[in-house]
Amino acid sequence: MKALTCLGKFGSSATETATHSLSMPMRTKNHHLLKRGRRWYLRYDIPKRVAHCYSERRSRTIYEALHITDEVLARSLRDKRLRELEREWLLLGQQGRAQFRPSRAQSDATSSEVEPRTREALLDRLREEGQEEALSYLDVPLSDASQEDVGYAQERFAATERGRELLRRIEVAQGRQTPLGPLCDEWLASKNPTASVMYDYRKALALLCERFSTIEEVDHLAARRFLAELLKTLNRSTVQKYTTAYRGVWGLKGLRTDQWPLRGLDSFVQSTQRATWSDDEYLRLLKGAAEKGNRQLWLAIRIAAYTGAAAQGVSGVELVEDKRDRVSIYLPETKQRRRARLIPCHETIVEDVREWEACRLAPQPLSKRFGRLKTDLGFGREKVLHGFRHSVVNRLERAQVRGVVIKRLVGHKLNDITFDTYSADGPGYDVLREAVSAVRWPAPPAWR
């Protein structure tokens, strides 16, 4: 910072650093700057040598609104303004004025000639940006308003919901802020996950855009508070999945992604342990679906019970027959593509799968219908359609089926380089068919 010339008594001058002339230590990059809300202000003290020219002011400390939110630009305007003050204080000393700024309307202007021009320029800018409504927040008549009065009125307007939205649109139009919505859409378009993962991503980003309008609003503290709010109604694993989408959007913009950690944050919602389905509960589900006349749901429950597939797998199941009359089913599983698998079809549900292919439900409607049914029957949150995977595994274990075969049937990773890498095809059809036949459920009443 260049040294400022401080005034001697009526014309004499001495050169001091800005630290002494403005009575403000310059120890940081933002010296003489103060942030109120999102806006920056210049703060400086009137030197004692010219204090008599500001006799109508009750305080030697002056605050001037810079009317900007950008920190770097605020520093530039600060330097320019401090150079202007140096020249003005030199002029005061040379002319030996006894009074300065005779009215409140001129209290924060640099001189009686500069004030009207500065105020009119500010008013013109407000009109150009469509912020004339801010003038309704003035405490004094417009003709008597100083630059400071207009700046404070603008700040009060900016604190309102309408003011915030207007300023956001202005800054987006000027390229100073980046809207989140288009950026989220761009990131989603670059991804090709499974349907359920894409559903989670869309939900996560919808919550983000509901809370924030632009990416500049989301600093480290705002991100932490947002995650803490999510954890009040969602379990930790769900929010952890959401942060994958948030980090992806930030990475697309070339921003730091380390402001989305969950370290030190706890969820108010405990994760629900999925429970298995017993024989009696299985029959209750089928009976309930039959009483509601919901044939589609009845078929879906049967397929889930014999395959252990989740909603995505049940929804997309396909019957596959080869030339040797071997009937298999293809299950396009949900979260992990490795779970997409072709396994022998249990002979009990062959016709059910054929019928399902002609009237299948999409994953989300299927999950919602099953959720309503199990709630109506009095089952708790721990009972989900995916719980049939646990039931199938339990039945295979009790039948003493080898662990490697069970994992192949339910689509789990083997975590073994021998089987995961070098045994891509896995056990043969006959071995898998014998294992599948070990899954048994009580026969339901005939559909009426």
Same domain, 158 and 184: no
Same domain, 306 and 342: yes
Same domain, 94 and 32: yes
150 is written with which tokens? 């207009």
**Residue 347 maps to a domain:** yes
pLDDT score at 27: 52
**Residue 403 maps to a domain:** yes
**Residue 274 maps to a domain:** no
Q: Which residues fall within 8 angstroms of residue 400, CB to CB, at 6 or more apart?
A: none
Same domain, 287 and 224: no
Among 111, 143, 173, which residue terminates a domain?
173
> What is the phi/psi pair of residue 308, to 5°?
75, 15
With beta carbons less than 8 A apart as the criterion, state whether 131 and 166 touch.
yes
Kindly report the CATH number assigned to the domain that includes residue 380. 1.10.443.10
Report helix angle 350-359 to 295-307, nearest 10.
130
CA–CA separation, 153 and 133 (whole Å): 10
Q: What is the pTM of this model?
A: 0.51
Same domain, 152 and 51: yes
Q: Which residues fall within 8 angstroms of residue 391, CB to CB, at 6 or more apart?
A: 276, 277, 282, 305, 308
Domain that holds residue 188: 180-252
With beta carbons less than 8 A apart as the criterion, state whether 179 and 214 touch.
yes
Sign of the dihedral through C-alpha 70, 16, 58, 140: negative
Task: Tell me which amino acid residue 445 is.
Answer: P
Same domain, 60 and 147: yes
> What is the phi/psi pair of residue 434, to 5°?
-65, -40
- In the DSSP assignment, the letter for residue 349 is G
Kindly report the CATH number assigned to the domain that includes residue 212. 1.10.150.130
Indicate the SS3 state at residue 328.
strand
Same domain, 16 and 142: yes
Same domain, 330 and 399: yes
Same domain, 31 and 146: yes
**Residue 425 maps to a domain:** yes
CA–CA separation, 138 and 150 (whole Å): 7
Number of domains observed in the structure of the chain: 3
Same domain, 329 and 395: yes
CA–CA separation, 150 and 133 (whole Å): 11
390, containing H or E segment: helix 387-398
For residue 214, the cross-strand partners are 179
Indicate the SS3 state at residue 364.
helix
**Residue 388 maps to a domain:** yes
**Residue 329 maps to a domain:** yes
Among 235, 252, 269, which residue terminates a domain?
252
Same domain, 285 and 411: yes
Same domain, 128 and 85: yes
pLDDT score at 219: 87
pLDDT score at 153: 73
For residue 344, the cross-strand partners are 328
**Residue 72 maps to a domain:** yes
In the chain, which residues have pLDDT < 50? Answer: 1-25, 97-115
**Residue 268 maps to a domain:** no
pLDDT score at 416: 57
β-strand pairing of 13-16 with 4-7: antiparallel
Task: Tell me which amino acid residue 210 is.
Answer: E
Among 123, 143, 173, which residue terminates a domain?
173
